[in-house]
Structure 1
Amino acid sequence: MAVIRLAFVLVMGLVASPSVAQQASDTSRARVLVLGTGGTIAGQASARAGNAYDSGKVSAADLIAAVPGMDKLAQISAEQISAIGSQDMNDKVWFDLVKRIHAAIEKKEADGIVITHGTDTMEETAFFLQNVLETDIPVVMVGSMRPATAIGADGPANLYEAVRVAAAPESRGRGVLVVLNDTIHGARWAQKTNTTSVQTFRSPDAGPVGYVDTGSIRFLQPAVTAKGPKLKLPETAPLPRVDIVYSHANMDAAPIEDAVKRGVKGIVLAGVGDGNSSKSAIDALAAAAKQGVVVVRSSRVGSGFVNRNVEVNDDELGFAVSLDLNPQKARVLLELLIANGITEPKAVQQAFVATK
Structure 2
Amino acid sequence: MLNNKVAIIFTGGTISMKIDPRINAAIPALSSEEIMAMVTNIEKFTNIEIINFSNLPSPHITPEIMMDLSSLVKKTVDRHDITGVVITHGTDTLEETAYLLDLTIDSKKPIVVVGAMRNSSELGYDGSSNLSAAICTAISKNAQNKGVLVVMNNEVNSAAEVTKTNTLSLNTFKSPELGPLGIVDNDEVIFYRDILQKQYINTETIETKVALVKCGPGIGSDIFDFYINNGYKGIVIEALGRGNVPPTMVKGIKKAIDENIPVVMVSRCPTGRVLDTYGYEGGGKHLKNLNVIFANNIPGQKARIKLMLILSITNNINTIKNYFKN
TM over 0.5: yes
- Name the CA shift for 1:347/1:223 in 2 (closer, same or farther; >3 Å): closer
Q: Secondary structure at the match of 1:82?
A: coil
Q: Distance in 2 between matches of 1:223 and 1:203?
A: 12
Identity %: 29
Q: Secondary structure at the match of 2:136?
A: helix
One of 37, 40, 50 as aligned partner of 2:14: 40
1:289 to 249, 257, 275: 257
- Counterparts of 1:175-194 in structure 2, within 5 Å, are 175-194=147-166
Measured after TM superposition, the shift of residue 254 of structure 1 is: 1.3
The residue that corresponds to 1:14 in the other structure is none
1:281 aligned counterpart, secondary structure: helix
| Alignment check: 8 A CA contact 1:140 1:177 kept | yes
Count, aligned residues: 321
CA distance 1:227–1:154, shift in 2 (3 Å): closer
Query: 1:222 Cα shift?
Result: 4.2
Contact 1:81 1:93 in 2 (8 A): no
Q: How does 1:173-212 map to 2 (within 5 A)?
A: 173-212=145-184
Corresponding residue for residue 82 of structure 2? 110
Q: How does 1:251-270 map to 2 (within 5 A)?
A: 251-270=219-238
Letter aligned with residue 222 of structure 2: A
CA shift for structure 1 position 200: 0.6
Pick the aligned partner of 2:289 from 316, 328, 342. 316
Alpha-carbon distance in structure 1 between the residues aligned to 2:138 and 2:288: 43
Matched, 1:132 2:81: no
Which residue in the other structure is 1:9 paired with? none
Alignment match of 1:326 (pick from 292, 299, 307): 299
Counterpart of 2:203?
A: 232
State the partner residue of 1:247.
215
1:61 is displaced (CA, Å) by 2.7
Report the residue type matching 2:89 in the other structure.
H
In structure 2, what is the Cα distance between the partners aligned to 1:212 and 1:344? 42
CA distance in 2, matches of 1:322, 1:222: 22
More helix by share: 1
Match of 1:158 in 2: 130
Which moved further from structure 2: 89-98 or 303-312?
303-312
| Structure 1: gaps of 5 or more residues | 1-25
Partners of 1:211 and 1:323 in 2: how far apart?
27
> If the length of structure 2 is used for normalisation, what is the TM-score?
0.93
| Residues 199-241 of structure 1 deviation map (CA, whole Å, 9 limit, x = unaligned) | 11111111101111125211012477x754433122xxx5341
How far off its partner does 1:49 sit?
Answer: 6.4
Q: Secondary structure at the match of 2:301?
A: helix
- Alpha-carbon distance between aligned partners in 1 of 2:195 and 2:209, rounded to the nearest angstrom: 34
Amino acid corresponding to residue 182 of structure 2 in structure 1:
G
SS in 2 for 1:156: helix
SS at match of 1:101: helix
Q: Could you tell me how far apart the structure 1 residues matched to 2:257 and 2:203 are? A: 24
Q: SS state of the match for residue 179, structure 1?
A: strand
The answer (yes or no) to whether the contact 2:137–2:188 under 8 Å persists in 1 is no
CA pair 200-111 structure 1, distance change in 2 beyond 3 A: same
Taking structure 1 as the reference length, the TM-score comes to 0.86
Determine which structure has more spread, i.e. the larger CA radius of gyration.
Answer: 1
Q: Is the 8 A contact 1:81 1:96 kept in 2?
A: no
Distance in 2 of aligned mates of 1:282 and 1:119: 35
Which string of whole-angstrom CA distances, capped at 9 and with x for unpartnered residues, describes residues 34-82 of structure 1? 00110011111122666x311x322223211221112112101111111
What CA RMSD, in Å, does the superposition of the two structures yield over aligned residues?
A: 1.8
Render the CA deviation track for 1:221-271: whole Å, top value 9, x for unaligned: 2477x754433122xxx5341010111122111112111111110000012
